Copies of this chain bind each other. A is one copy, B any other.
C-alpha cells in the first residue's frame, strides 16, 4: 500500500477535492469556488494530489482540467481485501453463534 495516498487524503480540503471530482473533471477555478478556497491553495492541493497520482491534468488553453484517477483508490481497495477476510471471519463466528442459539432455543 502506498502511503502517499493516505497522506494526500489526510487533508480535509484534498479529500473534499477528491469527492468533488468524483462527479466529473473540473477546472482549478471551479474547484476553488465550490470549496471556498483561494486559487493558490487549490493549485497547491491539486499539485499534491497529482504527485499522489490521485488526479490527472489535461491542459485546455488557459484552463486546466483535473480529473480523478482511480488507480490509488483501487490499490486501497486491494489492500483492504486482507482485512475484509478478517471481519468476515468475525461475522461468520457471530453467525455460527447465532445459529447455535437457534438450534438450542430454550436453554
Listed in ascending order, the chain A residues whose CB lies under 8 Å from chain B are 1, 3, 6-7, 9-12, 15, 19, 22, 68, 70, 73-74, 76-77, 80, 82-84, 86-87, 90
Q: How many copies does the complex hold?
A: 2
Roughly how many angstroms separate A1 CA and B22 CA in the complex, as a whole number?
Answer: 14
The closest CB in chain B to the CB of A18 belongs to: B83
Given the known A-B contacts A1-B15, A70-B90, are A82 and B22 also in contact in the complex, defined by CB atoms under 8 Å? Answer: yes
A-B contact pairs, 9 of them (CB 8 A): A3-B9, A3-B11, A6-B6, A6-B9, A6-B15, A22-B83, A70-B90, A73-B80, A73-B83
The 5 closest A-B pairs by CB, nearest first: A6-B10, A7-B10, A70-B87, A6-B9, A10-B10
Give chain B nearest CB distance to A93 CB in angstroms: 13
Do the beta carbons of A77 and B84 come within 8 Å of each other?
yes
Give chain B nearest CB distance to A95 CB in angstroms: 15
Give chain B nearest CB distance to A22 CB in angstroms: 6
Roughly how many angstroms separate A3 CA and B11 CA in the complex, as a whole number?
Answer: 7
The closest CB in chain B to the CB of A23 belongs to: B86
